[in-house]
Chain A
Amino acid sequence: MKKTQTKAQANPRPKQPSATGPNAKASTNGAGALANSPSRRNPHGIPDYRLEIPNFRTVEEWINGEFRYSVEGDFSAPAPPLRESKYLTKEKTIELYRYMWLNRKMEQTLENLFKQQKVVGGVYLGLGQEGCSCASAMALRDGDWIGPMIRNQGALLVRGFKSRDIIMQYMAKADAPTGGRDAGSHFGDQREKHVVAPISMLGDLIPVLAGVALGARLQGKSIACLTWVGDGGQSTGPTYEGFNFAAVQKLGVILIVENNLWAYSTPVERQFACKDLADRSIGYGVPGFIVDGTDPNQVYDVTHEAAQRAYAGEGASLIEAKMMRMRGHAMHDAAAYVPKPYVEYWKKRDPILRMEKYLLEKGWLSEEQNKALIDAAQKQIDQDREFADASPFPEGSTAGERVFCDNSVQIPFAYGGPKVQKVEKRKAGSASDVAHFR
């Protein structure tokens, strides 16, 4: 045991300059220099890219002997334009816009299938959140991983799953990615698309994505691992455990906290006591950011920069995307607890309508091209629905299969195999006699 290691051997993480520029002012939370300048900083120094800062809050009141939520604040402001993206080209912007439409059309189809009772179980919609899901997933490279939650179905489409895959998942069909073993967006792909299947318990993907980044690093590769959690899900213990682990190990986890104001029926005021969830980045010791979750350009740019830091071995980032869940928790939930002014306000901030206006005004799409794009998305979804409808249910008798993976299976390495220092073979030697209990 005489061999000494240099620090570099013990901790061989790539040291490259950050993708962010050298001249911008460093934030107090260690966000470093930013090429893409924020609109402001919040009271704790967190860069905030939003073009408007809504000023309203949910309050509790008793009306005619009933408890209900109402709102305080000014809801009259018109929706601002999208921010210009520093990184999205015209082609990429249109591609993003197309994914957003596919996401929405697919979910509208799922709603119809639910009403026709062709869906088994519940349907969870990401209405109003398509821009955030699609733009953030698009900011990654092929070798990166994502861990999507139920409202990130758009991210699954961006990663290369077909809408038919998702529709078949909801219909519990044999040709669905899990073959009917799990529901809805609960599926993944380890080998090609690099998607971790979520479980219903919240926050649990965060430490898993940290582990994926760790596995990649042991194979000599710094990757970005993107996952999302809601304002409700971030209350869980695994959120803290997982993100702290990523921060300590400097793993390239990008955590997007989708603050959509409602955790099922519980408003954010009953979920956390701080004003901005991005403030938590200070406690983790990682850069934090605030974006408008209904502005895909803001989401893309900040995620893109977070990914660049991940590739450079600079560790994790926390992005709070503020928006609103525009439907109930699932199809059965009419969301009657949400005060009307909220709905009106956020309807004006529909990410697809905002992106449509942006593209038309910029002249990147003509009215005809826009219509053709939307029609093509609808046509794709219609075909996929027919395909899904025709797929059979799985054979009941196959329920017992695949609990274990056969040991003859060769599990491949995602990045070519471990790149760890070679060790000379020698005996393990003996442990000392010190022990916690005798």
Chain B
Amino acid sequence: MTTYLEAIREGIWEEMERDPAVFCVGEDIGVYGGAFKVTEGFIHHFGSERVIDTPIAESAIVSAAFGASLTGMRPVAEFQFMDFISSAHNQIVNMVAKANYRWGAPAPLVLRGPSGGGVSGGPFHSQNPETYYAHTPGLKVICPATPTDAKGLIKSAIRDNNPCLFFEHKFLYRRVKEELPSGDYTVEIGKARTHREGRDLSVITYAAMVYVAQKAAEILAKEGIEVEIIDLRTVAPLDREAIADTVKKTNRAIILHEDTKTGGLAGEITAVINELAFDDLDAPIARIASLDTPVPFSPPLEKFFLPKVEDVVREARRLRRY
């Protein structure tokens, strides 16, 4: 059994062994092995040339990764927490994301790190900033939920010719584990996965919320409501087809994400359903997301802030009755 964290480690490790162009850059990733130990032991195996501890300078980390990618290298840059991606926002959305469009310079780099709440990390160690980047043309944004996908997708991201943002959910790091497929496998970027089959209602979600949906589905199954769970896996590009297909099948949709509600991805997915499957809807689309507040620190506050199993159960019952 391999944890989500170990799966990511394995993915990066195997890519570094396979391709000498791959190297890691970030804060405290060398001797210390990273704040969550994703790169622990890498410096001993691959050397300090390929596992580079940097100054605390997110903008420089992203830029240096981009610069190295211009010479054909394939950097994997770590943000100690994805919250700190805002310190590199300009470089990501202006320098990196627009490079191929503006001057034909592909940027094969991976920007990865832990995101998400549920660990009492407070406002600056719990955020889900993926939507800022899903909104930026030129970026691929990946948010895996399972160890199998985490490994397969980090490998695909490293091999991709485009800038990939890889949001690891820190709540899942050591809490989910499974047997991984053997051998050198990848998972395609931009393809959703059916986490659970069901005929009555679809929950379209990703990352840690997949498990919230799963618990709700188990409760609802006892009431005879069979929930289908779609794990998007990639939020940019969105798998529009998979979203439309599940709605055409179940005719009811809940969109669930841990990011805050207003301007969140649920609005975009709602629009996709509106464009591709409006006539198939038997009920309004429901959005379940975090409160429109910063992520609060104290456990009762954070618990109230995050989407809960009860929220999904309640909305599912409402849509079923509609």
Chain A interface (Cβ within 8 Å of chain B)? 1, 3, 5, 9-12, 177-178, 181-182, 186-190, 196-197, 199-201, 204, 206-216, 218-219, 237-238, 241-242, 244-245, 248-249, 402-407, 409, 411-415, 417-418, 420-421, 423, 425-426, 428-438
Contacts and interface: CB of A to CB of B under 8 A. Distances in A.
A212 B95 contact: no
A237 B58 CA distance: 11
A216 to B, nearest CB: 6
Interface stretch (B6-14, B276-284, B301-309): B6-14
A12 B70 CA distance: 22
9 contacts: A199-B98, A207-B63, A242-B63, A404-B140, A406-B161, A417-B72, A428-B41, A430-B6, A436-B125
Contacts of A409: 106, 161
A219 B108 CA distance: 17
B102 A181 contact: yes
B20 A417 contact: yes
B59 A237 contact: yes
B299 interface: no
A432 B161 contact: no
B48 A215 contact: no
Interface residues of B, number: 73
B218 interface: no
Nearest to B2: A430
A244 B67 contact: no
A414 B72 contact: yes
Contacts of A407: 159-161
Contacts of B91: 204, 207, 238
A245 B54 CA distance: 7
Query: Which of B5, B23, B161, B162 counts the most A-chain CB atoms under 10 A from its CB?
Result: B161
A407 B10 CA distance: 23
Contact of A421 (B49, B59, B70, B72): B49
A255 to B, nearest CB: 13
B84 interface: no
Given A411-B108, A420-B47, A431-B41, 14 more contacts: A182-B102, A206-B63, A211-B66, A212-B70, A215-B72, A241-B57, A414-B71, A417-B72, A420-B50, A423-B17, A428-B6, A428-B13, A431-B9, A435-B173
A186 B119 CA distance: 44
Contacts of B162: 404-405
A435 B36 contact: yes
Interface string B1-39: 000011001100110110011010000000001011110
A414 B70 contact: yes
A411 B103 contact: no
Interface of B: 5-6, 9-10, 13-14, 16-17, 20-21, 23, 33, 35-38, 40-41, 44-50, 52, 54-55, 57, 59-60, 62-73, 75, 80, 90-91, 94-95, 98-106, 108, 119-121, 125, 137-138, 140, 159-162, 170, 173-174
B67 A188 contact: no
A418 B54 contact: no
Given A215-B69, A402-B100, A201 B44 contact: no
Nearest to A253: B67
Contact of B21 (A413, A435, A437): A413
A43 B101 CA distance: 47
Nearest to A12: B49
A5 to B, nearest CB: 6
Given A211-B63, A213-B67, A417-B21, A431 B47 contact: no
Contacts of A429: 41
A52 B183 CA distance: 69
A411 B91 CA distance: 21
Contacts of A206: 63
A196 B70 contact: yes
Nearest to B49: A420
Given A181-B102, A187-B102, A405-B161, A199 B68 contact: no
B125 to A, nearest CB: 7
B36 A436 contact: yes
Given A423-B17, A435-B174, A211 B46 contact: no
CB-CB nearest 7 A-B residue pairs: A211-B67, A215-B71, A207-B63, A215-B68, A405-B106, A211-B64, A413-B72
Given A208-B63, A208-B67, A201 B90 contact: yes
Contact of A204 (B16, B95, B137): B95
A43 B119 CA distance: 53
A241 B55 contact: yes
Nearest to B189: A407
A238 B72 contact: no
A31 B187 CA distance: 51
A437 B101 contact: no
Given A204-B91, A403-B137, A418-B73, A210 B63 contact: yes
Contacts of B23: 218, 420
B173 A245 contact: no
Contacts of B137: 403
Contacts of B140: 404
